[in-house]
Structure 1
Amino acid sequence: MKDASLYRFKDIKPVVNAKELVDVVLSKTQRKTPTEIHKGFKITRIRNFYMRKVKMCQELFRDKLQTIINDFPKLDDIHPFYADLANILYDRDHYKLALGQCNYVSKSVIRISHDYIKLLKFSSSLYKCKILKISALGRMCKLVKKLQPSLLYLEEVRQNLSRLPSINPHKKTILLSGAPNVGKSSFINIISRANVEVQPYSFTTRNLYVGHFDYKLNRYQVIDTPGLLDRSLENRNTIEMTTITALAHINGVILFIIDISEECGLSIKEQVNLFYSIKSLFSNKSIVIGFNKIDKGNIDSLPVDSKLLIKQIAIDINSTIKFCSFSTLTGVGVEEAKIIACDLLKTDYSSDILLDQENLLKSKLNEHKINLNRAPFIPDSVIQEKIRKMQQKGRNKLNGKEEELDVETTDGDYNEEEENSTKGAFLSATNSTVDDMNGANSNDDQNRGNIANSTNLTMRELKLKKKNKSRQSYLSNRTDNRILQIDLQNENGGAGVYSVDIRRNYDIKEEYKYDVIPEIFNGKNICDFVDINIEQKLMELEKEEETLLDKDVQIDPMWFKTKRVLEKMALKLKRLKLHAKLNEEKQPLYHKKNKTVEEMEKKLDELKLDKQKILESMTEKLNKRNSLNGTARKENVNRESANRESVNRENIKKEKVKKDICKKKQIKDAVYNDPTKKSKIYLSTSTELQRKKAYRLNKIAYKKIVKGTKGEADRSIPCKRPRHLFSGKRSIGKAAWR
């Protein structure tokens, strides 16, 4: 039996293109061979140097190409199923031609190497050897570069082969076939772990998919095939031909699925005709015809013509055929259909199907498995030692009891019944062990387990009696009237029946102990927080809501306008933030311009606001501001005039002391001190502090950002080859300084 490991297409190594192959080989040749040669060397050494390079390059090319040829499967040697599948998917002639070209190039490279090695043997100088080496490597690389289309094709084939499912043609197989969209993929998803895509349209499945399941110690594989249409073989496409290949070459049971609800787009008559068109592929194979989608309709409800067509199938087919019905949507009948197919596979001896090696081993082990009572193994020496110790212990106890008999009876603590019982137990134990020992001497192999069990049993009984003795003595001699848990246990059915009441000892009030809903906080639970009148209150709220809706209260239209204005403002803010993030460079400060009357009116028209109302509100605000600041303004005017006079006097004094003022200072004063110059900063600011801040920000905005340029911290080499270090000679000899 061929193993599935013969067809491990995933192990094929990737095929590089021609350019990469040349680069890899030449770089490896350079790395693995010597690189230093001089014309003064002996000619034989020079010849060997270049011959080694040519030979190395030839071996590397040959190894790479032979790896490609050996990795790809030979279509004449593999199973006919894979051979025909490769022919359908990749074209057999094209595939063989690509591998043949690789083989031809490999042989040509070897021939070129032999020719140039002969020439190198008789070359007379280093230059001739070098030219011959260049020529040899160039011819090899040129041949390999011509392989570019074949190598690209083989890489595509490798990728497709690695994606193929690992189908074992020699394994127990159930093949699903039928028209498109009849439920083949749903069936394989239910009975196995395969996760095939299921969609409500035709040709969802375009390739073969494999699932596996176990049934009665055997591993089965189930193959989902693409749907078939009722047409001739010449008109079938590549997707349908993969199904034809699987049906023709893989031995197993064929489960032909028919959609009785006709939701797949084909009537029952057309599906039966499809079955007859591929009937030749079912020779020497058992067939199961499954009627799917019985949740949409029953077989009994089918028309008479359809029933006759189905009955005619059983008459026309010579091989074994069975019928079953199921629904892949609900899962009804799917397991029965699987069992029918598996049973047919077991009874089908015409196909060469064998058990898997693992399952075969398991089944053989189960056949010869003997159910024995495997008692623990105890060596003879251990058993004899145990018997001796027990006998000695029994004798010592009996002797001690007889000596102390009179003393114990006088004290009144002696219990005659207990003593007799213990005596009998020990005597019976010793006698039984002695008898067992005699039996063991006569029949060791048969009675060894019985001796061990009997000795263990008597010891266990004695231990239990000793343990229960102290407990029983306490229970029988106690004087208090307390009800213990053991009393309750004995009253209520004994051990195993009685369960301890844990809630009885809860540290809460008696009325809360046995609540169905446990307490949450301070003895309260969910029920304590539920309002009794909650439904009534809810109904009142609903009525109030209905009355408000009936009245249809009008909302002020100004509210909608305000909302629209606020939304526009929010959008504008978002847009500004976005632009600020996108702009990498710092932008200069732009100051708000005073709007004209026309611009203001246009803006108000866009927002659909009343101009008259806004004008009135603005005038009111302005009048209020003027009335409040009127008195303050008069005081400010008087104060400013006095300040100007004092400033003028101080300036005259300063001019006498400081004659030279820097230009930068003059520019600053001109910008934010001189009221005559109508600068932007002066117009946009009201106080001295604001002007200084605006000037500073303006300066930062226009400051040149220097990034990536050379600075003081960077390393600098002013002169790379200083003359005083690279000239002259040493004191001894003629060598230069460096």
Structure 2
Amino acid sequence: MATICKRLKDPLVYLEQVRQHLGRLPAVDPNTRTLLICGYPNVGKSSFLRNISRADVDVQPYAFTTKSLFVGHFDYKMLRFQAIDTPGILDHPLEEMNTIEMQSITAIAHLRSAILYFMDLSEQCGYSVSAQMALFKSIKPLFANKLVFIVINKIDVMRPEDLDADTQAELQELLKSGNVEMLQLSCTTTEGLMNVRNAACDRLLAERNAQKLKAGTNASGEVTGRLGDVLRRIHVAQPIGGILREPFIPEAALNKMKFDKDDPNRPKLMRDIEEENGGPGVFNVNLKDNYLLADDSWKQDKIPETFNGRNVYDFIDPEIEAKLAALEEEEEKLDGEGYYEEDEELADAAEEDIRYKAELIREKRQLIRNENKMRKSLKNRAVIPRSKKAISLNKLETGLQNAGYDTTAITARARSLSRQSRGRTRTEDTEEGGDNADTMDVDATPAERLRRSVSTARMRSQSTNRRIDGVTDGMARTKAERLAKLGQKKMNRMARQGEADRHQTASIPKWLVAGKRGMGSTRSRVVVVGVYACAAFGGVWRGLMGLMGLMGLDGGALVEFDL
């Protein structure tokens, strides 16, 4: 894979450059409301986009600062708009335009948007007013079926009224040539900036709504499609008989005087009463002022809760006992007529219907649950295909006879093969290569056939010697064993059982290596480390200890020698 990647280095580098370039491209939504800003270089297009949106556009006092499309987003009337800043365009034929200018031309031609053509009457951009108007005329065919605005920028330096008569007349001809509107602003002082944005957005919304209404009508003018469905659902109530009902305003509302805080005869508001009585936090609203009583002097009286051992509210209505008697008489009459019994029966019927539907829902849920359990249990189980299922000889014979075939020879062959397979032993079948697997066991039951196949497979697995499989002679087998031992030698040296052995030996504990190390404890710590390594390396260490004992050295010397 590394060789292939090196071989494909150049195409992969090119694809990475393409990916980075695509990541830098702006995300333009062709279906949303769009303002497209175009014009000569250095006329204030990027400054306008930076002021009305959140786009971080580079603004510099020289031409061709913007070399690609920049997209900014803003909200107006709770709707999302996008404004696109295009590179500057020079007035020369289309064939002579470079790649930067062609981005602007392509955006103007193919995006459905409102065109904002910026002009600098002060000529600080380095191009004359006549050249800017000539560019507008040359690219005007690209403005077909689009809203066009001529935006005069830098009005803090030069306004259209300050131009000479001929230039003003030529500018007015541009406005009369089509549905073109002139707007004025200054990006430096932000004068008229929001007015230009709002005017362009309002006209764009009106144009889009008109197109939607026009698209929803047929040749006869009737509204169809989605708009027709919406209008049919809206019902506006009209007076019967075509009577015109004018809005009615009460006389008191018409004669009501306008509130004037300095008027001494004005009615007092609750705020005024609050200020007179200590202000907020001190004044408390008296709810008893709104009581409707026969005498206003009763409003502040305290109402007792009980009187003569009875509830005071029982004495509010003097006819309460007569009303109670009439209510009881009505209840007895309804009960005698069976009014409440019918309600109970209806309630019982509705309740039974709900219970019946609930029972159906429970049964349906249980069926779905059982079906999911069966599907889950069968998900990891092998499904036996129809072609592999066992079929009896009688069924096969009947089917062939119904199809018009003679089954005498087939039946005789199957029965003879079955007798031969029953008369032979498993050892014979194994030695001869298992010919019995190709015969048709007719009279045996499915359990017996399964038991025989399992036993045969077990005998074959036990009789197979994997060490001699694929080896032609004894010499080749000896050579293979020697190569296997050589391959395992590295594993034995590393105390590994094989290539898959990932066992990690115990590392040195922290208490052996941490802390201060003085001159007195260095040798003892080295000895302890050596003993710990002895436990890790086992037999190798014991062999070294025996060898050092024959040489007349002690364990400490061995530790020092080893380290």
Q: Same fold (TM over 0.5)?
A: no
TM-score by length of 1: 0.31
Higher helix share: 1
